[in-house]
Amino acid sequence: MIVDGDLHIHSHYSKAVSKLMTFPIIAENAKLKGLNLVGTGDSLNPHWEKELLKHSKPIDDGTFEVNGVKFILTCEVEDKRRVHHLLIFPTLSQVREFREKVKIYSTNIESEGRPNLNLTAEEIAEMANELDILIGPAHAFTPWTSLYKEYDSLKDAYGDAKIDFLELGLSADSDMADMIKAHHSIPYLSNSDAHSPNPHRLGREFNRFEVKDVTFEEIRKAIKGVGGRKIMLNAGLDPRLGKYHLTACSRCYTKYTLQDAVSLSWKCPKCGGIIKKGVRDRILELADTSEKPKDRPPYVRLAPLAEIIAMVLGKGIESKAVKLLWNRFLREFGSEIRVLIDLPIESIASVHEGVAKAIWAYRNNKLIIVPGGGGKYGEIRIPEEILKAKIEDLNSIEISGGEAELPKPKQRTLLQYIKNKEVN
């Protein structure tokens, strides 16, 4: 059977997370999205564990069901160097045992959803290995709280401890991650890290698994690629749309080459803000191969349906017009994922031709992208040729997508900046 799962979310016990992140609301929105499976998130928090037991029925020791949606036990933790790791637990007893082991290293495990542990990445992974808990780096490339912000390799971080997967994060995809040869033997997960249950957050990145049932054990086999189970595809944002794809100022979002950022000592001459190294530049620093592993599942680039509708209509994502059309799509076809990935374009066009063209452009990599950076999401544009074409003629259009030419930054040149500092 085919299962679409988002294994990294947060509860209302984590910082900066919507109070609506409760199990009944998450389950309701997961069904609208088309997710069969969701990670509980924050499972080390004892209060969140109580809510899980209150709202769910156990399927087995590690799988729970809330209003028709399956949940498996997951949690994100932060180590002593502020690197984040995703844990996937086989059973509730292993959650409790791990909690007991690490609580002497944490001041907030009883209150925070994403606890801080005064342990190294290697120490956390070794504990997970001992208890047969799956572990991997969360959003591995982002310039905040990620593996590759602090380390130059998996070995540097985890030493001899075993990791089971690598989570790509919103600003990277499989092709980018595979530029590092050490990753070729590691499965990738693509998850939303959702802080809100809205379907343009929950499931904005997900994994499609081929399994025999929706349980932890089946998902474990799929991640490891054993017994005929497998990850069929990773789905997520075009990495250029991620907030940290390009090197850019975190205050005014002016984009810089890596060389200029280094020359400027990572301080923006335009506004004085901090320049954050982009995921693309960080991966290029570490890249050591152009080969691709033969068994890597495809990565499907997509965007939340509401964001596509908003772009096509030229309206805000919370506008009445966007919500009405979004609801119509779900009434007709059942879920967002079905519309975004599985339906024929002609069926989508029966509801709205402009949205169908935008989804076609997504599926065929024909969009024009204004890349994100510095904490600001990228932007998408549909080429005029696609907007003007008939649905039946789309496949004959000869146009390639790509990055829009970025506007020249309104800033002093590096030479002007240096001279100005000398005068002052």
**Nearest residue to 288 via CA among 181, 385, 202, 371:** 181
**Is there a binding annotation on residue 249?**
yes
232: tokens are 């069929």
Q: Which residue has the tokens 């509980």?
A: 40
Annotated binding-site residue? 170: yes
Name the residue among 374, 360, 265 with its Cα closest to residue 312.
360
* 373 among annotated binding-site residues: no
10 is in an annotated binding site: yes
172 marked among binding-site residues: yes
* 130 C-beta neighbours (distance < 10 Å), count: 12
Whether 6 has a binding-site annotation, put simply, is: no
Q: Is 84 annotated as a binding residue?
A: yes
- Residue 193 annotated as binding site: yes
**Distance (Å, rounded) from C-alpha 41 to C-alpha 70?**
13
Is 268 labeled as ligand-binding?
Answer: yes
Grouping H, G, I as helix, E, B as strand and the rest as coil, residue 224 is helix
DSSP string covering 172-210: --HHHHTTSGGGTTS-EE----BSS-STTTTTSSEEEEE
237 in a known ligand binding site: yes
Question: Nearest 5 degrees, angle CA 170-CA 173-CA 175?
Answer: 165
- 139 has binding-site annotation: yes
| 75 labelled binding-site residue | no
Q: Supply 30's token pair.
A: 């997961």
Give the closest residue to 34 by CA, choosing from 4, 68, 11: 4
Distance CA 272, CA 254 (A): 11
Binding residues: 8, 10, 76, 84, 139, 169-170, 172, 193, 205, 237, 249, 252, 268, 271, 299
Binding residues for Mg(2+): 169-170, 172, 205, 237, 299
Binding residues for Zn(2+): 8, 10, 76, 84, 139, 193, 249, 252, 268, 271
